[in-house]
Amino acid sequence: MTFFSPSSITCFFSVHKSKNPSQSGSTGVGITLDIGVTVKISGRGIKVNGEKRDFPTVEYVMKKLGCEGIEIEMDVPAGYGFGMSGASALASAFEINRAFELKKSFFELVDLAHEAEIVCRTGMGDVVCQSYGGVIVRKKAGAPSVCEIDRLFWDEELDFLFIEPMKTEEVLRNESKIQLINRYGELCLREFLSKPEIRNLFYLSKKFSEKTGLLDDELREIIEEVELHGGFASMVMLGRAIFTYNGYDVLRDYGEPFRAKISRYGVREVRSSNF
């Protein structure tokens, strides 16, 4: 057996910083997906899909738990806003705990993965989604053990298109951008809580991307084309990628889209793969 962590996307968010990583994080809405990462213990270092690489969040977890090597199999690449750094840290924490019989609790492990994301500046709320599963409404920021959430279970399939990677750290270091993100993220959260429906989620996510200046002309064109053909679409936060509902055929005109279902399950033990 080994551990799998789902990926997740963020629709809109607000940043909440604290000197204590467990109190840092984000509010907003995220969606857990049925694609993600699977890990296994290996000799030394970190391999991702068979290639050696530096991976700060996973290195942080390995050092804290006393592990020297991890292999990671990713269903989607990092850098497009699917929370792969958080998912990798999360699955690694649980697999190290299982393999080395550390007997850490669920919250010790998920909070460690969250801490790794905060310290490494690779994410603010992905681990919360990936710990629980479902459509997660983060009402109070922080690590999974201290945040406040609502979970929605939507049995839907979404369509996705990668455009270009984006470095989360660069956005999180831009204080003027963070001010805009926090202003409109809080507004969108209040509006979604008053009407927690998928159509409203896409509307608010698009509004958030426009008001914060994160949405560029190329992404806007694709979103508007999906809407013209009766679907819903928005930009993945934070990545130059599109997510849609009933937009697959339109996305095919712009690249190679793929589909994934909303998952109601978080990090979990699975049968070992042969990677």
CA-closest candidate to residue 188, choices 10, 69, 32: 10
Q: What percent of the chain has pLDDT over 70?
A: 99
- Considering the domain architecture, whether residues 30 and 145 belong to the same structural domain is answered as yes
In a domain, 215, yes or no: yes
- Considering the domain architecture, whether residues 147 and 191 belong to the same structural domain is answered as no
| Per-residue confidence band for 274, with pLDDT thresholds at 50, 70 and 90 | low
The three-state DSSP-derived secondary structure of the chain is CEEEEEEEEEEEEEEECCCCHHHCEEEEEEEEEEEEEEEEECCCEEEECCEECCCHHHHHHHHHHCCCEEEEEECCCCCCCCCHHHHHHHHHHHHHHHHCCCCCCHHHHHHHHHHHHHHHCCCCCHHHHHHHCCEEEEEECCCCCCCEEEEECCCCEEEEEEEECCCHHHHHCCHHHHHHHHHHHHHHHHHHHHCCCHHHHHHHHHHHHHHCCCCCHHHHHHHHHHHHCCCEEEECECCEEEEEECCHHHHCCCCCCEEEEECCCCCEEECCCCC
**Alpha carbons 182 and 5: distance in angstroms, whole number:** 28
- Considering the domain architecture, whether residues 66 and 82 belong to the same structural domain is answered as yes
- Considering the domain architecture, whether residues 129 and 171 belong to the same structural domain is answered as no
Residue span of the structural domain in which 43 resides: 2-152+262-270
- Considering the domain architecture, whether residues 198 and 87 belong to the same structural domain is answered as no
Give tens-digit pLDDT for 8-39.
999 999 999 999 999 999 999 999 999 999 99
| Per-residue confidence band for 208, with pLDDT thresholds at 50, 70 and 90 | very high
Q: What percent of the chain has pLDDT over 90?
A: 92
In a domain, 240, yes or no: yes
- Considering the domain architecture, whether residues 146 and 162 belong to the same structural domain is answered as no
| Domain containing residue 143: CATH number | 3.30.230.10
In a domain, 275, yes or no: no
Provide the number of structural domains found in the chain: 2
| Domain containing residue 223: CATH number | 3.30.70.890
